[in-house]
Amino acid sequence: MSEPTEQAGVCDVSELKDEAGKLDAADELAALRERFVLDDVTYLDGNSLGALPAGVPARVADVVRRQWGELRIRSWEESGWWTAPERIGDRIAPLVGAAAGQIVVGDSTSVNVFKALVAAVRMAGEDGTGRDEILVDATTFPADGYIAESAARMTGCALRPVTPAEVPSALGDRTAAVLLNHVDYRTGRLHDLPALTAAVHEAGAYVVWDLCHSAGALPVGLDEYGVDLAVGCTYKYLNGGPGSPAYLYVRHGLQDRFDSPLPGWNSHAEPFGMRPGYIPAAGASRGRVGTPDILSLLALEAALQVWDGVSVEAVRAKSLALTDFFLRCVGEYVLDGRVESLTPAAHAERGSQVALRCDDAGDVMKRLIERGVVGDFRAPDVLRFGFTPLYVGFADVERAARVLAETLV
């Protein structure tokens, strides 16, 4: 892989290179990069798939060879397989501002969205009649919209797509539940979780937050802001691996009322009683369905060890510094009018990615990847760059902007 030249810069490239070096030298999180398996590629796609934590391969090998290969069925108890969904949920909890006992890990994000949204509508129905409408984020990841449409049909609700900004005015006596994304997957816009949650509650409805693009990148504050239900994946900023299991958060005060539309044997109060009638388990375990995916679960548990001793607040501070620096480098290096940032400049409205609009974005991203700068493309014209503060440094940021400028010449 050849090193990019300095031909595209409209400023002195050496100045920004030097500044990047100084920022990396002062970075209190810089040493965390050693906890990952990385090479000389500038990897800015952790908002799609996080890098491999170095401790995962040995842990997975042990699970396969010893726990499965030698202990076999005994590992459900002796290796803690049975309790893994709750144990790993408690490991994720502080990363999203939740106390223990409120998160269970398992299934996919889409499955958990379905559970949470239907349960929210059912709780609203218990509160009183007439709540027969679901509001869904019109800018949401498409799968959330598909699930919301199915949940609406199943519960007899009308589905009303609105933008997050429109939610407060759209709420009313008919609103049963609201499904929102914390960070817009296209633009990186961070939505106001505290204010929107408060507005939904004031209207007497329940809120479900999708945290896929915020957990592990910034403080969430589920308990602090009284969020009802939340879901999220673990393969982005939590680095759990491709297809790693998602999680479901159910606030303590709602757990006795949580009525899952997928009552599986794993969430039964007596899972091995094999009774014909369903009695839900206590606590967050009501969110379980079938047999846990042990290999993926325990790989995720190993991956979460990279968070030992790491403050989410420090991660957020570095995330903002990285994205600020990237936007600055793009502004200095890229010719005027070649790209347009879709990501808000205000810190309060920015997640941990930068989205740039570019006419030939698909081809540009292919050429960037060929030169060792990996981001991703979203149709029709968006370049996305994700900044995972645990392993991305300021030199990575400067190089990415410089290669982008040269690619766009």
- CA-to-CA distance for 243 and 151, rounded, in angstroms? 23
Angle (nearest 5°) at CA 326 between 324 and 332: 105
Known active-site residue 17: no
Known active-site residue 141: yes
Kindly tell me the burial class for residue 151, based on how many C-beta atoms sit within 10 Å of its own C-beta (0-12, 13-18, 19 or more).
buried
Please say whether the beta carbons of 400 and 42 come within 8 A: yes
Known active-site residue 235: yes
Known active-site residue 107: no
Q: Number of helices (H) and strands (E), helices first, in the chain?
A: 12, 15
Could you tell me which of 375, 366, 328, 385 has the C-alpha nearest to residue 188? 385
- CA-to-CA distance for 88 and 103, rounded, in angstroms? 8
Residue of 160, 189, 236, 402 with catalytic role: 236
Residue of 36, 43, 114, 141 with catalytic role: 141
Could you tell me which of 228, 210, 204, 222 has the C-alpha nearest to residue 124? 204
Cis, peptide link before residue 380, omega less than 30° from 0? yes
Residue of 160, 371, 384, 399 with catalytic role: 384
Could you tell me which of 182, 178, 168, 164 has the C-alpha nearest to residue 350? 182
What is the dihedral sign for C-alpha 379, 151, 208, 96?
A: negative
Q: At what angle do helices 13-26 and 312-333 cross, to 10 degrees?
A: 170
- CA-to-CA distance for 289 and 267, rounded, in angstroms? 6
Kindly tell me the burial class for residue 341, based on how many C-beta atoms sit within 10 Å of its own C-beta (0-12, 13-18, 19 or more).
middle
**Residues in contact with 8: Cβ distance below 8 Å, sequence separation at least 6, in sequence order:** 333, 334, 335, 402, 405, 406, 408, 409
HSE-up of 253 (CA within 13 Å, CB side)?
6
Known active-site residue 43: no
- CA-to-CA distance for 247 and 108, rounded, in angstroms? 8
Which residue numbers are catalytic?
Answer: 141, 210, 235-236, 384
